[in-house]
Amino acid sequence: MGAIKIIDPGMTALVEDLGRYGYQRYGVSVSGAMDEYAARVANFLTGNDASAAVIEITLKGISVEFLDEALFAVTGGDCAYTLNGKPLALWQSCRAKPGDILAGGFCTGGLRNYLSVSGGIDVPEIMGSRSTNLRGKFGGFQGRALKKGDVLPVGGGVLPANRPERELKKAYIPRYDPEIQVRVIMGPQDDAFTEAGKKTFLNSPYKVSFDSDRMGIRLAGEKIEHVKAADIISDGIAFGSVQVPGDGLPIIMLAERQTTGGYCKIAAVISADRSKLAQARPKTAVHFREAGVEESLEALKEYRNFFYNLDDYCPVKN
């Protein structure tokens, strides 16, 4: 068992894993890491299970002191990190000694970083997950964002010395561009929109609003025309669902989304493209492209195969 101490939590730092599943019927959000790709790679680099808890860091890098020996990795957005004042490369694991200081600046591309420590962040499981539910004020570390002075247990008895240092091959490190395209499957209520409205959705660029968070991305741009009204009988909402309320401007629902909603959903972003949304900064241009079920399944298969073969993509460092 080891520990890390928070020196500077940045803007928002949360303990997250892959989410709290099986409780939406009771009104409990899934939560979990916004960028599954970055979180899972971070855990692999430190020898953890994919479901181990990590720290999700938004916009401004975190600063921590390692109180014990650790193997750690930082993945995600383009952000300058140092270890004891020396530049640290992202997307690879590194060893820390007691007293070492990890410090990050501001993201210059992308929005979120993920800090994984060998053995995982060892906070209690609540409903099968260590993820923070901010609105419910439970899970994670005391149900809240991290603060200066917090000491987080890590490792769960795992000896980092037994785990090799690895790095993700450069070809698989994402690019964080100011303009992204995401593929969607239309529906389930696309019949609630006019043909002109659907064309607007698929052919108009949208900009990520500053009024966005872990619950959803609000988009600014051309209004999407409904056939009649925006309201429906509330039904379930998946990660990536695109709601269009009465003002005609789409909202993409994310990890901390509510469990049900009463606005028409014109489409859903496919699973393989959701990490792009997690890293979309305010003013990022978003383009939607319709994808058929077959293309979406092929993209999902490729996405999952990547994680099944991480040994090939994350070799041991020379």
- Domain of 203: which CATH number? 2.40.100.10
Q: Would the pLDDT of 318 be above 90?
A: no
pLDDT of residue 131: 98
pLDDT of residue 21: 95
31-61 pLDDT, tens digit each = 999 999 999 999 999 999 999 999 999 999 9
Asked if residue 33 belongs to a domain, the reply is yes
Asked if residue 317 belongs to a domain, the reply is no
**How far does the chain reach from its first CA to its final CA, in angstroms?**
28
Same domain, 13 and 147: yes
The percentage of the chain sitting over the pLDDT mark of 70, rounded to a whole number, equals: 98
pLDDT of residue 168: 98
pLDDT of residue 159: 65
pLDDT of residue 248: 97
Asked if residue 74 belongs to a domain, the reply is yes
Given a contact cutoff of 8 angstroms between Cβ atoms, the answer to whether 223 and 193 are in contact is no
Distances (CA, A) of 208 to 74, 78, 178: 25, 19, 10
The mean per-residue pLDDT over the stretch 144-168 comes to 88
Asked if residue 313 belongs to a domain, the reply is no
Same domain, 43 and 163: yes
Asked if residue 314 belongs to a domain, the reply is no
Question: CB burial class (10 A; 0-12, 13-18, 19+) of residue 274?
Answer: buried
The residue among 256, 249, 290 whose CA lies nearest residue 273 is: 290
Distances (CA, A) of 202 to 149, 287, 293: 47, 7, 17
The residue among 41, 31, 109 whose CA lies nearest residue 75 is: 41
Same domain, 153 and 184: no
Amino acid letter, 276: K
Same domain, 151 and 249: no
Q: Which of 115, 143, 171 is the last residue of a domain?
A: 171
245-290 pLDDT, tens digit each = 999 999 999 999 999 999 999 999 999 999 999 999 999 999 999 9
262: left (phi over 0), alpha (psi -120 to 50) or beta: alpha
pLDDT of residue 32: 97
Q: What pLDDT band is residue 1 in, cutting at 50, 70 and 90? A: confident
The mean per-residue pLDDT over the stretch 220-240 comes to 95
Same domain, 116 and 86: yes
94-131 pLDDT, tens digit each = 999 999 999 999 999 999 999 999 999 999 999 999 99
81-90 pLDDT, tens digit each = 999 999 999 9
| Contact partners, residue 105, CB within 8 Å, separation at least 6 | 60, 61, 79, 80, 81
Same domain, 92 and 220: no
Asked if residue 316 belongs to a domain, the reply is no
The mean per-residue pLDDT over the stretch 2-30 comes to 96
Asked if residue 244 belongs to a domain, the reply is yes
Q: What pLDDT band is residue 23 in, cutting at 50, 70 and 90? A: very high
Q: Which of 150, 171, 192 is the last residue of a domain?
A: 171
Asked if residue 318 belongs to a domain, the reply is no
Given a contact cutoff of 8 angstroms between Cβ atoms, the answer to whether 69 and 101 are in contact is no
What's the mean pLDDT when you consider all of the chain? Answer: 96
Same domain, 43 and 161: yes
| Contact partners, residue 261, CB within 8 Å, separation at least 6 | 234, 235, 237, 241, 243, 253
Same domain, 167 and 212: no
Same domain, 166 and 203: no
**How many domains does the chain divide into?**
2
Domain ranges, residue 145 = 2-171
| Contact partners, residue 108, CB within 8 Å, separation at least 6 | 77, 78, 79, 80
Helix residue ranges, H only, the chain:
36-45, 195-203, 274-278, 293-308, 310-313
Same domain, 11 and 141: yes
Same domain, 164 and 184: no
CA 165 – CA 316 distance, rounded (Å): 6
Q: Which of 126, 143, 171 is the last residue of a domain?
A: 171
CA 81 – CA 164 distance, rounded (Å): 21
Same domain, 140 and 222: no
β-pair partners for 185: 268
The mean per-residue pLDDT over the stretch 127-148 comes to 97
Q: What pLDDT band is residue 155 in, cutting at 50, 70 and 90? A: confident
β-pair partners for 46: none
pLDDT of residue 163: 86
